[in-house]
């Protein structure tokens, strides 16, 4: 296992790459210039194989170790930016109005390239490393991770485990956070249309007013979490949109509402889908109204495999100043969850210090984190494919 000092010589070059990507943000699947930049770098390192255009702009590159036969593990970075107007005032600010790397994916991509450069010239490991660069992490379903998994690249390259990394404001630079089990929440959304009977607002008895029914449904959903689920299990049900008539004197035919569901438990996800519909339908029935219900499952729970998390902790400990291996899960979601659903693996948080939060116009990736991120990837490869691993297996 190597310490962070071993990777400092890469920091200046990788910082240049990171800032180049930051100046040139691209959105969703349309990360063409970013993918071109990544592909050119990978080719210049002398990797064994590069496949491009997976899910439009995704890339997988293979580096074969020289230590003998062994499995292939996948290391993943995301490449897309966000539709946000940057306000950092940094010299490397976005050159494009309304687009910025406000989630640090520029840092993720640059660090994985740094690790690729190192690994391509230090192949003292068994098996192979698959470097995975995905587009469209930030978009609604079908997102980049989803489409890449659907494309079948995990099978095609015989990838047995997958690892991801996300920078995390609020964790000090040089420190890491992770946990075995659920780390980030699933993300679903729902729409409910309450269908009643419209009319004149002065003659409510001649209508089936959908508005009070909709209001009761909102209140009914509040007790779904507070009265029906274990207080120690996390579930969020939020109604975020409501609309009906646009006039003062008209009772609408129908009222619409929509919201989101987040949870760390697949069982609670099933529960939420079933119970939201039942509560809405029964309240509507009590008022002579009907509902149309739509529940859409998006990103699954980001679930860290226990064994893979041990490797991740070992890698983080060897390079980091500190590792919180029991970090509190977060209720945000992450598209890497699709890869973790298909293969065992782990996502780790890399400290980004006291920066603005992600998805904020003042956010910027902290380049001081770069040697820690690269060191984590390299040590993870040693942990999974190095001699230490074989000794562990033989015991």
Kindly list the residues in this chain that would bind Ni ion in the complex (CB under 5 A). 103
Pairing of strands 49-54, 302-304: unpaired
Smallest distance, Ni ion to C-beta of residue 353, A? 16
Smallest distance, Ni ion to C-beta of residue 355, A? 13
- Residue 152 class from Cβ within 10 Å (0-12 exposed, 13-18 middle, 19+ buried)? exposed
Smallest distance, Ni ion to C-beta of residue 103, A? 3
Smallest distance, Ni ion to C-beta of residue 41, A? 21
Of 73 and 103, nearer to Ni ion (C-beta) is 103
Is 11 within 8 Å of 367 (Cβ atoms)? yes
Of 61 and 77, nearer to Ni ion (C-beta) is 77
Of 183 and 252, nearer to Ni ion (C-beta) is 183
What is d(CA 125, CA 65) in angstroms, rounded to the nearest whole number? 5
Residue nearest to Ni ion (CB): 103
Smallest distance, Ni ion to C-beta of residue 90, A? 19
263 contact partners, CB below 8 Å, separation of at least 6: 185, 186, 233, 234, 235, 236, 269, 272, 301
Q: Which residue has the tokens 């760390």?
A: 264
What is d(CA 377, CA 369) in angstroms, rounded to the nearest whole number? 13
Smallest distance, Ni ion to C-beta of residue 102, A? 9
Of 18 and 389, nearer to Ni ion (C-beta) is 18
Of 103 and 183, nearer to Ni ion (C-beta) is 103
Smallest distance, Ni ion to C-beta of residue 167, A? 8
Of 103 and 239, nearer to Ni ion (C-beta) is 103
Signed CA dihedral, 330, 232, 312, 57: sign only: negative
The token duo for 38 is 């990544």
Of 104 and 196, nearer to Ni ion (C-beta) is 104
Signed CA dihedral, 92, 95, 97, 102: sign only: negative
Q: Output the DSSP codes for 200-220.
A: ETT-GGGSB-HHHHHHHHHHH
- Residue 344 class from Cβ within 10 Å (0-12 exposed, 13-18 middle, 19+ buried)? middle
């Amino acid at each position: 296992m190597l310490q962070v000092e071993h990777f400092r010589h890469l920091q200046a070059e990788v910082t240049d790459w990171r800032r180049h990507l930051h100046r040139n943000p691209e959105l969703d699947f349309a990360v063409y210039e970013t993918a071109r930049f990544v592909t050119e770098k990978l080719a210049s390192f002398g990797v064994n194989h590069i496949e491009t255009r997976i899910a439009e702009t995704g890339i997988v590159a293979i580096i074969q170790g020289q230590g003998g036969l062994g499995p292939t593990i996948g290391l993943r970075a995301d490449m897309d930016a966000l539709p946000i107007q940057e306000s950092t005032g940094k010299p490397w600010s976005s050159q494009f109005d309304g687009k910025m790397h406000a989630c640090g994916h520029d840092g993720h991509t640059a660090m994985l390239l740094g690790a690729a450069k190192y690994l391509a010239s230090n192949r003292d490991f068994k098996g192979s490393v698959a470097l995975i660069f995905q587009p469209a992490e930030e978009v609604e379903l079908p997102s980049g991770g989803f489409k890449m998994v659907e494309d079948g690249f995990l099978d095609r390259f015989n990838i047995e485990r997958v690892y991801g990394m996300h920078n995390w404001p609020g964790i000090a630079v040089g420190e890491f956070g992770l946990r075995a089990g659920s780390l980030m929440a699933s993300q679903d959304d729902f729409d409910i249309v309450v269908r009643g009977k419209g009319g004149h607002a002065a003659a409510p008895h001649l209508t089936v007013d959908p508005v009070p029914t909709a209001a009761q449904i909102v209140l009914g959903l509040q007790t779904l979490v507070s009265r029906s689920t274990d207080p120690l299990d996390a579930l969020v049900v939020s109604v975020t949109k409501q609309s009906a008539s646009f006039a003062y004197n008209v009772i609408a035919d129908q009222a619409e509402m929509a919201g989101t569901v987040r949870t760390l438990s697949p069982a609670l996800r099933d529960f939420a889908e079933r119970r939201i519909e039942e509560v809405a339908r029964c309240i509507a029935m009590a008022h002579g109204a009907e509902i149309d219900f739509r529940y859409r499952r998006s990103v699954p729970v980001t679930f860290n495999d226990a064994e893979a998390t041990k490797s991740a902790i070992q890698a983080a400990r060897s390079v980091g100043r500190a590792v919180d291996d029991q970090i509190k899960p977060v209720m945000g979601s992450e598209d890497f969850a699709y890869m973790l659903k298909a293969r065992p693996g782990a996502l780790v948080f890399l400290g980004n210090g006291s920066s603005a939060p992600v998805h904020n116009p003042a956010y910027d990736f902290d380049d001081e984190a770069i040697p820690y991120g690269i060191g984590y990837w390299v040590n993870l490869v040693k942990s999974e494919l190095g001699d230490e691993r074989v000794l562990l297996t033989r015991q």
